[in-house]
Amino acid sequence: MRMLEVRNLTKRFPVEDSIFGKPTRFLTAVDDVSFGVERGAVFSLVGESGSGKSTIARLICGAYKATSGEILYMGKPIGRTKEDYRNIQMIFQDPDASLNPRKNVFAIIEEGLRIHKLGSSKERREKVMGILESVGLDRLTVKKFPHELSGGQKQRVSVARSLILQPELLVLDEPTSALDVSVQAQTLNLLGDLQKEFSLTYVFITHDLKIVSQFSDYVGVLYLGNIMEIGPVDEIIDNPLHPYTQGLLESVPQPDPSKKAMNEILKGEIPSPLNPPKGCPFITRCPKAYEPCTEKPGLTVVGDRLVRCHLYDTGGN
Ligand code: SF4
């Protein structure tokens, strides 16, 4: 059984109401998305800003309700029990926004144990100290407040706060993108080590395919709320099939500066989800668009992956 199963998930936000307060216009942030995550695996969702990846993270963690579709955790609809909220934790992009500036590090990390009424005060203290060590923070950090910490230290506190409840699944929403380049690699290494140490399962949200290639087992490529390509990370990085995945890979900075201007695919901006193109979601930017693309393609099985592109309707080319 897969630990997490996302089935036909759709999320629409109302953006305009009638004079009677009834929603008349919707923004589709997530459109019929399905994927599964095995225990102990790292599954990444990758796409540009506006692709719907953070909305999916919030749906998994119960911050949003799905418009339709379902999310199963260990075979059962997610969020039915208090245990689900302990077992699934989220790490946010911006630790500044997620840490209470009025609480010290000890109180921030201990809070989950208090909420769930876990352990005596002595046991909670021991747990906080143990987890601080696991995330590479000095014991003296407990007395500090968020404003006294660096960006990397704050993100380590966020990680410690999530791990204190011994979750099974971590949903990480761009956990390094608000950090200086110099500490991004350290934080990624830490997350990799913790995944092994605590046998964690990750859903990793990022816009950066370079991180995906280092860090994941499977990847889903999102565009305007749609899965465009999904499958084993090595296959997708070595041989991207979808034109959008090819474009994302070409935008990864190259060590050779002469290759920088090569991205001929991802020209222009992602269209507004308020006004998505008709037919294939990628049609306005796709250099391979042709007549059939005015109809929205379904997902086609190509080897071990699924690809949403008419070029593969008959089994690939
Ligand atoms: Fe491009 Fe057409 Fe494929 Fe969409 S369906 S990615 S527009 S070739």
d(C-alpha 168, C-alpha 201), whole Å: 6
> Can you give the pLDDT at residue 254?
56
| β 76-77/88-91 pair status | unpaired
pLDDT at 269 exceeding the cut of 70: yes
Closest C-alpha among 16, 27, 90 to residue 59: 90
Chain-centroid distance, C-alpha 125: 31
> Can you give the pLDDT at residue 261?
41
Matching residue, tokens 């407040």: 145
Ligand 1 atom showing the smallest separation from residue 293 Cα: 2
Its pTM stands at: 0.89
Percentage of the chain lying above the pLDDT 70 cut: 94
d(C-alpha 151, C-alpha 172), whole Å: 16
CATH number for 16: 3.40.50.300
Ligand 1 atom showing the smallest separation from residue 242 Cα: 6
The residues, any chain, with a CB within 8 Å of residue 315's CB and separated by 6 or more, are: 300, 302
Six token digits for residue 214: 């280092």
Give residue-wise pLDDT tens across range 94-126. Answer: 888 889 999 999 999 999 999 888 999 999 999
pLDDT at 218 exceeding the cut of 60: yes
Chain-centroid distance, C-alpha 65: 17
| Burial class of residue 26 (count of CB atoms within 10 Å of its CB; 0-12, 13-18, 19+) | middle
Per-residue pLDDT band for 263 (boundaries 50, 70, 90) equals low
Task: Using the mean position of ligand 1's atoms as its centre, give its distance from the Cα of residue 309 in Å.
Answer: 5
**More reliable by pLDDT, 170 or 20:** 170
> Can you give the pLDDT at residue 210?
81
Protein residue with its CA nearest to atom 3 in ligand 1: 309
Per-residue pLDDT band for 252 (boundaries 50, 70, 90) equals low
User: Where in 245-314 does DSSP place strands (E)?
Assistant: 300-302, 305-307
Protein residue with its CA nearest to atom 5 in ligand 1: 309
| Burial class of residue 259 (count of CB atoms within 10 Å of its CB; 0-12, 13-18, 19+) | exposed
Give residue-wise pLDDT tens across range 39-86. Answer: 999 999 999 988 999 999 999 998 899 999 999 999 999 877 778 878
> Can you give the pLDDT at residue 18?
81
Task: Using the mean position of ligand 1's atoms as its centre, give its distance from the Cα of residue 315 in Å.
Answer: 15
Six token digits for residue 231: 């499958």
> Can you give the pLDDT at residue 20?
82
Q: Is 265 in the pocket of ligand 1 (CB under 6 A)?
A: no
> Can you give the pLDDT at residue 264?
59
> Can you give the pLDDT at residue 209?
84
Query: How many of the other CB atoms lie within 10 Å of CB of 252?
Result: 14
> Can you give the pLDDT at residue 262?
42
Ligand 1 atom showing the smallest separation from residue 312 Cα: 3
The total domain count for the chain is 1
The residues, any chain, with a CB within 8 Å of residue 193's CB and separated by 6 or more, are: none
Rounded mean pLDDT of 272-289?
A: 93
Rounded mean pLDDT of 125-153?
A: 94
Matching residue, tokens 């409840």: 165
> Can you give the pLDDT at residue 317?
44
Per-residue pLDDT band for 24 (boundaries 50, 70, 90) equals confident
> Can you give the pLDDT at residue 306?
97
Beta bridge partners of 230: 220, 306
Q: Is 293 in the pocket of ligand 1 (CB under 6 A)?
A: yes
Chain-centroid distance, C-alpha 284: 25
Rounded mean pLDDT of 134-150?
A: 94
> Can you give the pLDDT at residue 22?
84
Rounded mean pLDDT of 286-314?
A: 95
φ, ψ for residue 222 (rounded to 5)? -110, 145
d(C-alpha 260, C-alpha 250), whole Å: 9
Query: How many of the other CB atoms lie within 10 Å of CB of 140?
Result: 9
Q: Is 307 in the pocket of ligand 1 (CB under 6 A)?
A: no
Protein residue with its CA nearest to atom 8 in ligand 1: 289
Contact 151, 95 (CB under 8 A): yes
pLDDT at 37 exceeding the cut of 90: yes
> Can you give the pLDDT at residue 253?
61
pLDDT at 256 exceeding the cut of 70: no
Give residue-wise pLDDT tens across range 220-241. Answer: 999 999 999 999 999 999 999 9
Mean pLDDT, the chain, integer? 90
Task: Sheet containing 169-173: give its strands across.
Answer: 88-91, 169-173, 201-206, 42-46, 218-223, 226-232, 305-307, 300-302
Q: Which helix (H) or strand (E) holds 207?
A: none
**More reliable by pLDDT, 183 or 219:** 219
Closest C-alpha among 299, 296, 291, 292 to residue 279: 296
Phi-psi region of 182 (alpha: psi -120 to 50; beta: other; left: phi over 0): alpha
Rounded mean pLDDT of 139-146?
A: 94
Q: Is 310 in the pocket of ligand 1 (CB under 6 A)?
A: yes
Instruction: Give the domain range for residue 74.
Output: 4-313
